[in-house]
Chains A and B, each alone.
Chain A
Amino acid sequence: MSATAMETYSRRAVAAPSARRRLSTSPRWTTLAKGAGVFAIVMIYIPLVWLAVMSFTANPLAGIPYPLTFQNYATLFADARWRPPLYTSLLMSAGVAVVCMALSTLVGRALTRMARPGASLLLVLMPLFVPGLTMGAALFIFLRTMLNLTLGMWSIFLAQLVWALPFCILLVLVVASRFDLRLLDAAEDLGASPWRRFWDIEMPILRPGILGAGIFGFLLSFNELPRSLFVRGIETTMPIYNWAMAASQQSQVPIIFSLTTILLAVTLPVMGAFFWVLFVKLDKN
């Protein structure tokens, strides 16, 4: 390489990173990023806010936020038909959350102790990529047609568990993969029995992941529709009820607006508080 070529080469090598730096700190990029962010947030929240506003109007389907009224809420509370599905869903989701916490802790711990977890990890996470309707249909054919079982609560529970578990395992894995197994050696060395080692050392350190798994397990189960539809038998969960009501052109539609608004108003602050405690407050300690 000639001296000149070398010089140009080195100059270019120096120039390239500074150009890139200029690009990445350019105010235009920042503006664009901010704009896109605002757009995304607006697109997420406007429909939600619109739903809430509409729940207070006389004729929600007309799309005009006038006249304002509490009539829909009155109708909702006078009606009792939506309550059993709500209780079913609450109970079901709580169950799924508890089982998810236990199973994802077991699986997460086992995976992080394996010499080569790659294949097992893939198998465990695969259900994430199976479309909901496919999974629902597959479960239906397997349980109903092949095994000839009577579908009901248990099959909804199973379908929701299959759906929520991979997410929960991911959440536990995030914490478990950073867990230093040598701490357990230290505890054992100091005289802690296997149960105490888990309870005193491993559990508290994995706790954010396990609680996160519980929250997500609950939410995923509470919102699950496509799989439940297939394996519901004659049971009805909240999403199935809402979907059936919203899909049929009935006079019941307005109370769905009220119902979803109430659910939203309760869920969002509770989840927000939960996450704040979990990841901000506990993290500081």
Chain B
Amino acid sequence: MSSSTTFADAPAAARSAPPILEIVNAVHAYDGVVALDNVSVSAAPGEFLTILGESGSGKTTLLRLISGLEKPYRVGTLKLEGVDVREVPAFQRNCTTVFQNYALFPHMTVGANVEYGLKVRGVPPKDREARAREALRLVQLQEMYDRKVHQLSGGQRQRVALARALVPRPAILLLDEPLGALDEKLRVDMQVELMQLHKQLGMTFIYITHSQEEALTMSDRIILMRKGKIEQAGPPAEIFDSPISSFAAKFMGVDNCFEGELVAVSDGWASVAVGERRIDGRWTGKSAPQPGAKVAVGMRAEWLQLSDAPPDASGEHNVLDCVAEASIYKGKYLDRTVKTALGPLKARIWDAASSARHPSFVRWKKGDCIVMNA
């Protein structure tokens, strides 16, 4: 699990075709605050690309730059379908957006909303209606054509916004945290529906979210952003298993992170001194720094094993002695905190019945321990 990236290989077709989106060195700022700092992104036709980041990381700015609603301060290349669109206004670009707040037109019916993209393109009313009904069928709202927007629930509005963006058949569909306002159950259902739609339509999706879980579930590739820069980019499994920095690790849900001093690094393995202790693990950072440099060590809670007897010294594990502290019952699993020489560690126990009641040792495989740039 920790070492495999085989499940998340990008589709073969995506790699060979010329990119449908190409951005090189985009720079943008609002009132002196840098929103994008030399960001370069490309997307292959049919790719599901997720831009992941916390609020203020510049991900929405990046999306608005692609759609044309924002004009970048400076950009080297900005190409859609191989055509330079730096000077092309948003309404002439072949991409549409599903907005976070849906932005449905309140004075129009559902049908008129969905048809709007065709209306402004001069499609005759009959074709418009046929295509709008088709799109509504795609999002399972075929009965809602004549409804008013304010009669719809949040989830239904979301689907109308999706249908409206799909109807003009854009080259790229941009989704700006479209599931952010939905409750959890609906969100999970919509994730599956979006993935099916993506597969069915073969359209390029660029999806913005702050949820690592959404990003991991849906994407072919993830771009993790931090303060207007790209922190890491790659297939979900790569980012999940091999975050290059403590920021990426924490964002991808690595529960235990510590700072240490690099002792040695070779062959992709690193040895780190954290306080008095020596921890060994995989080097996942960018270029390996010199010994003595500050690095970060991380391990996921589910990789830690607790026991009350000293484990065999096989050399494959990092071992620490520990004192049990709080435990939090989560239903499917149990989160236990133990005190160690490194500080408190969180361990996730799936089989609470067979685990040690008063653990005095914690161990984890060296392969399940990541060492990266601080």
Contacts and interface: CB of A to CB of B under 8 A. Distances in A.
Interface of A: 180, 182-183, 185-193, 196, 200-201, 204-205, 285
B366 interface: no
Contacts of B121: 191
B92 A186 contact: no
Contacts of B164: 190
Interface residues of B, number: 25
A201 B105 contact: yes
Interface in B94-134: 96-97, 99, 101, 103-107, 116-117, 119-121
Given A187-B116, A188-B69, A191-B168, A182 B99 contact: yes
A186 B120 contact: no
| Main secondary structure on A side of the interface with B | helix
Contacts of A191: 91-92, 117, 120-121, 168
A57 to B, nearest CB: 51
Contacts of B90: 185, 188-189
Given A186-B97, A191-B120, 5 more contacts: A180-B103, A182-B99, A190-B120, A190-B164, A193-B91
A192 B99 contact: no
Given A190-B164, A190-B168, A192-B116, A185 B107 contact: no
A189 B67 contact: yes
Nearest to A205: B107
B140 to A, nearest CB: 22
Interface of B: 67-69, 89-92, 96-97, 99, 101, 103-107, 116-117, 119-121, 148, 164-165, 168
A204 B164 CA distance: 20
Contacts of A196: 120
A191 B123 CA distance: 12
A182 B104 CA distance: 10
Contacts of B99: 182, 185-186, 189
B117 A190 contact: yes
Contacts of B148: 285
Contacts of B69: 185, 188-189
A193 B105 CA distance: 16
Contacts of B97: 186, 189
